[in-house]
């Protein structure tokens, strides 16, 4: 579910005040980077009492040291992606690229863990954790993800959490939540028209995005209420709930039984396809 929104304005726009006024952009809206906008949305959510166990984000936010320090000042745990060229101080009092530090890790440092369910089953990678600082019971660490291919790809994360919560399995679970966030954006675009707009005004953009978010929230709540499903069927999806809701609100030429026939068939067959696909994927990960 999406909680907040903010329109990113390129610096070329922000500097052209005449163009901004024509689009209804307030003079009080200066140029702000994406991390700055992200911090504002976090401040609104936390200020409203929204519970927040962890903050996670991609490299755009992980590279921003100001955002990281702000989260640390609030003692807000995070797992933020960083680039391979990000640097850390080593024991030799020199800065080293994180990819260089990952290359030095011994074999015993790696552990194969799932980052959660994906479209093809469990998302299995090799993971390693390298603590690099600790203060008042809070630990900074470098989390490294390695794919299972012959020529593996790497991903890197800066983490911050209480030492007792800074466990590899916990950090991997948080890092894997970004996949769910991306899925929500794709769902909102496909089912609620999040990106289906042709607006030329500041207020029009905010109205469209807000209504799209509200529609997604309503569909998500309806799906959550139907989460418990019958045996050997996958739950109803948001794309299937939308026409059902339309039928309830507006009616239609065909009866509800006809409308439910296709989702019921799809859910039964997808359950079987998903079961065997996941099992095949898990067997392929076993050592030979």
Confidence class of residue 6 from pLDDT cuts 50, 70 and 90? very high
Grade residue 256 by pLDDT with cuts at 50, 70 and 90: low
Do both 238 and 174 map to the same domain? no
Euclidean distance between CA atoms 52 and 81, whole angstroms:
18
Same domain? For 182 and 72 the reply is: yes
Number of domains observed in the structure of the chain: 2
Is residue 132 situated within a structural domain? yes
* Domain around 75: 53-187
Q: Is the pLDDT of residue 247 over 90?
A: no
Residues 268 and 179 in one domain: no
246 found inside a domain:
yes
Question: pLDDT value at position 39?
Answer: 97
Q: What is the pLDDT of residue 277?
A: 64
Domain boundary among 126, 156, 187: 187
- Residue where a domain terminates, one of 187, 214, 234: 187
Task: Name the pLDDT band for 1 (thresholds 50, 70, 90).
Answer: confident
- Same domain, yes or no, for 172 and 76? yes
On whether both 68 and 146 belong to a single domain, the answer is yes
pLDDT digits (tens, 9 = 90+) for 139-158: 999 999 999 988 999 999 99
pLDDT category, 197, cuts 50, 70, 90?
confident
Q: What is the mean pLDDT of residues 32-57?
A: 95
233 and 176 in one domain? Answer: no
Residue 239 lies in a domain: yes
Summarize the confidence of residues 21-31 as an average pLDDT: 90
Average pLDDT over residues 195-201: 84
Which of 187, 216, 237 finishes a domain?
A: 187
Confidence of residue 228 (pLDDT cuts 50, 70, 90): low
SS (H, E, C) the chain: CCCCCCCCCCHHHHHCHHHHHHCCCCCCCCCCCHHHHHHHHHHHHHHCCCCCCCEEECHHHHCCHHHHHHHHHCCCCEEEEECCCCEEECCCCCEEEHHHHHHCCCHHHCEEEEEEEECCEEEEEEEEEEEEEEECCEEEEEEEEECCCCCCCEEEEEEEEECCCCCHHHHHHHHHHHHHHHHHHHHHHHHHCCCCCCCCCHHHHHHHHHHHHHHHHHHHHHHHHCCCCCCCCCCCCHHHHHHHHHHHHHCCCCCHHHHHHHHHHHHHHHHHHHHHHHHHHHHHCCCC
What is the tens place of the pLDDT at every residue in 51-76? 999 999 999 999 999 999 999 999 99
Q: Does 143 reside within a domain?
A: yes
Full-model pTM: 0.78
On whether both 178 and 71 belong to a single domain, the answer is yes
Residue 74: which CATH number? 3.90.350.10
- 144 and 266: one domain? no
Residue 246 has pLDDT above 80, yes or no: no
Angle at CA 269, nearest 5°, toward 268 and 271? 70
User: What confidence score (pLDDT) does residue 40 get?
Assistant: 96
Residue 160 forms part of a structural domain: yes
State the average pLDDT over residues 203-222.
Answer: 87
């Amino acid at each position: 579910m999406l909680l907040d929104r903010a329109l990113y304005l390129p610096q070329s726009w922000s500097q052209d005040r005449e163009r901004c006024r024509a689009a209804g952009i307030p003079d009080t809206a200066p140029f702000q980077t994406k991390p700055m906008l992200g911090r504002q949305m976090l401040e609104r959510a936390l200020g409203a009492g929204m519970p927040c166990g962890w903050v996670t984000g991609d490299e755009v936010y992980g590279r921003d040291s100001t955002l990281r320090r702000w989260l640390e000042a609030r003692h807000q745990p995070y797992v933020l992606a960083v680039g391979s060229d990000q640097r850390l101080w080593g024991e030799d009092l020199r800065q080293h690229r994180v990819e260089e530090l990952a290359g030095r890790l011994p074999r015993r440092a790696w552990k194969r863990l799932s980052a959660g369910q994906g479209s093809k089953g469990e998302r299995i990678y090799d993971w390693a954790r390298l603590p690099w600082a600790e203060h008042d019971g809070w630990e900074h660490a470098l989390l490294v993800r390695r794919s299972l291919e012959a020529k593996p790809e790497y991903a890197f994360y800066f983490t911050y959490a209480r030492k007792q919560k800074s466990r590899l399995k916990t950090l991997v679970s948080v890092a894997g939540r970004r996949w769910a966030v991306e899925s929500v954006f794709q769902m909102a675009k496909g089912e609620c028209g999040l990106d289906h707009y042709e607006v030329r005004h500041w207020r029009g953009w905010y109205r469209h995005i807000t209504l799209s978010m509200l529609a997604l929230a309503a569909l998500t709540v309806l799906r959550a209420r139907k989460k418990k499903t019958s045996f050997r069927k996958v739950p109803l999806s948001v794309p299937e709930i939308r026409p059902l809701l339309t039928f309830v609100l507006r009616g239609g030429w065909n009866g509800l039984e006809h409308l439910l026939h296709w989702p019921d068939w799809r859910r039964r067959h997808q359950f079987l396809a998903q079961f065997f696909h996941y099992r095949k994927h898990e067997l392929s990960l076993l050592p030979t």
